[in-house]
Each structure stands twice: as structure tokens, then as C-alpha cells.
Structure 1
């Protein structure tokens, strides 16, 4: 099996006459955390939506575990082990943390999203749901409604529901968006913990989080890859400093 769990080959996306993504080649190494960064309008969200099949590519291929998934829909790739979380917390606010995770586990009983199923059938999944909550530090909040959780813990709950789907590859969209410093640290540590034994691709604006977590960083600008590598390499790239950070190389030297 290839060392690359996810590959994009000459990936492109056009909206009318506008080329938002142009010939992007991406190789995500198995068992790593891979970050997509870039300035506003760089195309990182479009690339992310293409990889998760929330947008259909205009050109190119997407491979997961060496198999072409370009023509599959989001549900089909989720069933293969590619699961996405969203920039805005996507949990059911008036269900408890336990009930949210249990819904993610229901597909094992073949009754996903059947809200009328017997409570006794669903309770069979409680032990595993509690285990998933424990993984993200929410065990003691199991019976609290999601709407009552602080924002950072809502994001942790979302990751717990994602874990309930047993992803081989997790795709995280701006996991620390809108968080205070304390929540950012907690969620970053959570991402590090849940990355064990799986691969994570994330779009992230917080460079501190990226520097701390990412094994590989792909920098996008104007729909194309500008640089790629570990943080200590890409952060010193003159083109990255100018395009992403607004710093010109001669300004650094001065």
C-alpha cells in the first residue's frame, strides 16, 4: 500500500470563467497531520471542499488509498473512512453530548438517523459513546445538552462524533476558528491526541497551531501551491512571507 493515503493529481476547479484552483498536486502521507494554509482567497477552502467532495472538480483526480474517488459523493467517501468536520460546530444543540455521539454510532446497527428506534436498542451503544467522549475530555459532560457546552467543548464534541464514524482520514475545517487562547490550546492538544493511528488534513488560520501540530504544510496562493514542507522551511520561504504574511524578503533582511 502507498505511503500516501490521499492524493490530488492536477486538481482544478473553475467557476464560470474564474479558475479558483489550478493544477494542484497534493500527497498526504499516512499517519501525519497535513495543514492547508494561505491568505484569504488563496483557494484553500475550495481545495478542501474538492477533497471532501462538497465540490465537484472541473479537472484532475482524487485518490484515497490508491483508489480513484473523484466521482464519489460525500456519503460514499465517508463510508470508506474519509470524514469531515465543519468550521461551524455541527452538532444537535438540544441533544446531550452522549446522544450526539450515539447518533454517529447508529450506522453500525443499520439504523442511522432513525430517531424513532427503541431507546433500548440505542443504549447498546452507550458504552462506546462514553468512550469516545472520554477521548476528547467530555465524559463528565455526557448528559449535558450540547447547547449548554462552551464553544471549545462543542468543537470537542464534534470531533467525538467524527471519531464515532471510525475515520481513517479526518478532515478538519478551521478547528480553532473563533476560539480564545485557552480553548485553542485545548483543541490543539485534542487534535494531537486523536491523530494517533489516523491521518488528519486541516485548514487552519492559526499559525501557532499549525507550527505546533503539522508535519507537512501546503501553502496555497491564487489557487496554486506556493510552497510545501515542514513549518520551519515554509515559514522562511520568501514567497510565503510576502504572499501569506505580507512580509517581503528584503524587509526581513533589513
Structure 2
């Protein structure tokens, strides 16, 4: 029998209305601790809005968000990030003209609350080089420490973004379309990387590539028109007639 402490992240009756339009309506979501959980649905289903509500980029009209059983509904996005709920975005969010090492070091500074203390000695920043190199190695970017982010391939930019996310020491990672725009040659390495970095963490992922979802995710929640359509394993949801109909009839508005 499951208890509240079994879940790292929960949404309870989460709703976001814009005037009379419900972008997300009464969404209940339970992400089991230590799992990789997918949030999928046709275009316009409300997945991005749901992510924004979970990470407090948007304020819900009603409902609750809980992290490790703690109600974080009233907190700001920076506060929930400090509690360990960290999101990466669909579009790579690294600093293009900084090197890989510098990008990760900035994230490490932020996690330690020293990002804007410009009067600190350079030695205190250099002390972050070794942990930054270790994070780069973890995502397969050893030897790229001095490469500017703008010179990386698209797949390696996403790997760098995951490294900067890991630098914040997340308990729960929300990954928004991590393989979006990738060529076939980059998808498998990023999928393997997500599987590797999931050790000891909880991951909620929005991903259109269902082969990636099937290989990574233990549970899948399907949204349609801002509401939960169904939840289950990949085999269960992929064979659900309502899910098949939803994907065949999805509207391209998100």
C-alpha cells in the first residue's frame, strides 16, 4: 500500500484557468520516488502549462503541489528550486559564449549561493573546477571543458544543460522535451544519459518521442485538453483506445 512519502512530487486537483478557458483542469499526478515518470499527450494537451504550475512559473487557479509531502503551492520558483525541484527547458538554456566548464561552474556557484558575490577571491571560484569537471564527465563531456557552448553539437548542448541541472543537486528533475530537434544519432546517447543520471533521483519528463518514453519510463500520465486521460505502463496506455484516438485527433496548438 502506497503512502504519501512514497511520492517525491504530487499534484492534487491542479487547475489553471485563463478567463473561461481551463488550460489545466483538476490534474492529479503522483510521481513515485526514484522513478522516471512521463507526462505525454497530443499537442495542446496542457503538458507545458502543467510543468509551469509544478515549478511555480505559473500560479495555479486552484489545487496543490507537494514536494516530498511538503505543500509548495505558495512558494516562488526560486524557492522550490532550492528545495530540490529543478527544471530543464525544451530550448537549451546554457550561456553560449562561456565554456562548458564555466557554464557548470556558474550553476555550482548558484547552488552554493555565491553567484553574485563578485568580491570573492578567484581561488574560491577555482575550487569549483574539480566538481565541474566531474559533472562534465558524468554527462560524457570530458575533454570539452574549454569548448564554448556555442561550438557544441545540439546533442552535446543538451548534455551540458543536464550537467548544469545536476549542479543544482536536484531531488526531482523535470525534463521538457530533452530529445526535441535531435537527429537520430543523438537520441540514444541522451536517452542513456537520462537513465544514468536518474540514479538516486526522481525524473518527470515531457517527451514526444514515444520510443524514448517506452525505454525510460515506468509510469506514464496522458493529458488531453488539460485533463488526465489515463495513467499506466507504456503497454497499458499505448493500447488504450482513448489514447489512440487522442493522438490521432490532436490539435497542433502547443
Same fold (TM over 0.5): yes
Q: Which residue of 2 aligns with 1:171?
A: 174
The residue aligned with 2:122 is: 119
> Which residue of structure 2 lines up, in the alignment, with residue 252 of structure 1?
none
- Aligned residue pairs total 247
Q: Report the alpha carbon displacement of residue 119 of structure 1 after superposing the two structures with TM.
A: 2.6
Structure 1 distance, partners of 2:119, 2:144, is: 24
Among 142, 145, 154, which residue is 2:157 paired with?
154
Cα distance in 1 between the residues matched to 2:121 and 2:96: 21
Shift of 1:107: 3.6
For residue 105 of structure 1, the aligned residue among 90, 108, 112 is 108
Q: Please point out which of 19, 24, 37 is paired with 2:27.
A: 24
Q: Does 1:142 align with 2:142?
A: no
Superposition map of 1:189-208 within 5 A: 189-208=192-211
For residue 109 of structure 1, report the CA deviation from its aligned partner.
Answer: 4.7
Cα distance in 2 for partners of 1:236, 1:28 equals 22
The answer to whether 1:49 aligns with 2:45 is no
Cα deviations by residue, 1:158-215 (Å, 9 ceiling, x for unpaired): 0000000100000001100100001111111100000011000011111110011011
Q: Is the 8 A contact 2:16 2:61 kept in 1?
A: yes
C-alpha distance in structure 2 between counterparts of 1:245 and 1:198, whole Å: 34
Task: Determine helix, strand or coil for the equivalent of 1:14.
Answer: strand
Report the equivalent of 2:90.
87
Return the offset for 1:17.
Answer: 1.1
- Following TM superposition, the consecutive aligned residue runs of length 4 or more in structure 1 with deviations greater than 6 angstroms are none
TM-score (norm 1): 0.94
Give the unaligned 5+ runs of structure 1.
248-254
Match of 2:17 in 1: 14
Aligned-pair Cα RMSD in Å: 1.4
* 1:108–1:4 CA distance, 2 compared to 1 (3 A): closer
Distance, in Å, in 2 between the alignment partners of 1:184 and 1:108 is 29
1:187 aligns with 2:184: no
